[in-house]
Amino acid sequence: MAELKYRRILLKLGGEALAGEGGFGIDPRQAEFVARMVRNVVNMGVQVAIVIGGGNLWRGKQDGLDHGMERVTADHMGMLATVMNALALQDALERIGIPTRVMTGIEVRAVAEPYIQRRAVRHLEKGRVIIFGAGTGNPYFTTDTAASLRAMEIDAEILIKATKVDAVYDRDPKKDRDAKRFEHLTYIEALNMRLGVMDSTAMAMCMDNDLPIAVINLWEEGALERVVLGEPVGTTITA
C-alpha cells in the first residue's frame, strides 16, 4: 500500500450529503454511501473527524431570517439540525463496523458527548471516527468555521471540503461551460476572488494556521483515498 501523506483529517460535509430527493431530509442510502467512503480511508489507517452541516433540514436564512426570525434562534435551530445529521451518519458508520462518537458544541447529553478537545483526540487515537455536531456552539458562526476550528484543535493535517463538484471554479460549471477550473489556489486568491469555497472567517483561520484545504467531489470514486495519499485531486488551497 502506498504511504499516507495525511494520517489525521477533518472532513467537512454539507447536509446535502445525506439529503433525499430535492435536497431535503435524510436518506439512509445516502448516509450509507458516505459511511462507506469514510470506512475506506479508516481502513487505510487514517484518523477521521467529521463536521457536518444541516442545510438539508434547516437553512437559517431562507427558512428563518427571511421570515423575520431572530438570528440567534435561527442559528440554534441550525445547530440542532446538524446534530440530527450527525446521529444519522453515526448510525450508518456503526452499522458497517466503524466505531463512532458524536460530540456536540451545545450539550445534548442524552444523545451525544459534549465536545472536549482532549477527549476528542483520545477517541481518534483509539481509532474512532468523531462527528462534530452543533457547529462551534455559537450563533453567527457557520459549520465551515466550525470545521476550521475543530481541525486546528485536534491537530488535523488537512481540511477536506467534500462537495458535489470536482474542484473549485470561477463560475458555476453546471451553468457555464467556460467556467475556469482551479487545481491550486492560495488562501488570498480564494478570499479575493470570492469563490465561495468557505466563508471568509473559516478561510482566514486556515490561512493564519497554515492548514491546507482540499476541495473534492466525494461522489467521485476514490477521490478521498487519493487525497490522503497526497495525489492531485480537486483543488488544493495553501499558502
- Count Cα neighbours of 216 within 13 Å in the Cβ-side half-sphere: 23
Q: Is the pLDDT of residue 2 over 80?
A: no
Q: Does the global pTM surpass 0.75? A: yes
pLDDT of 113 strictly over 90: yes
Higher-pLDDT residue of 226, 166: 226
Q: In the Cβ-directed half-sphere of 138, how many Cα atoms lie within 13 Å?
A: 7
With a CB cutoff of 8 Å and minimum separation 6, the contacts of 65 are 71, 74
- Alpha helices, H only, the chain: 28-42, 71-95, 117-125, 143-153, 187-192, 200-208, 223-228
Per-residue pLDDT tens over the stretch 134-192:
999 999 999 999 999 999 999 999 999 998 888 999 888 878 888 899 999 999 999 99
> What does the mean pLDDT of the chain come to?
93
Report which of 112, 108, 129, 109 is spatially closest to residue 120, judged by C-alpha positions: 129
For the segment 48-66, the average pLDDT, to the nearest whole number, is: 87
Task: Please tell me the distance from the alpha carbon of residue 88 to that of residue 13, in angstroms, as a whole number.
Answer: 13
- What is the percentage of the chain residues whose pLDDT exceeds 70? 100
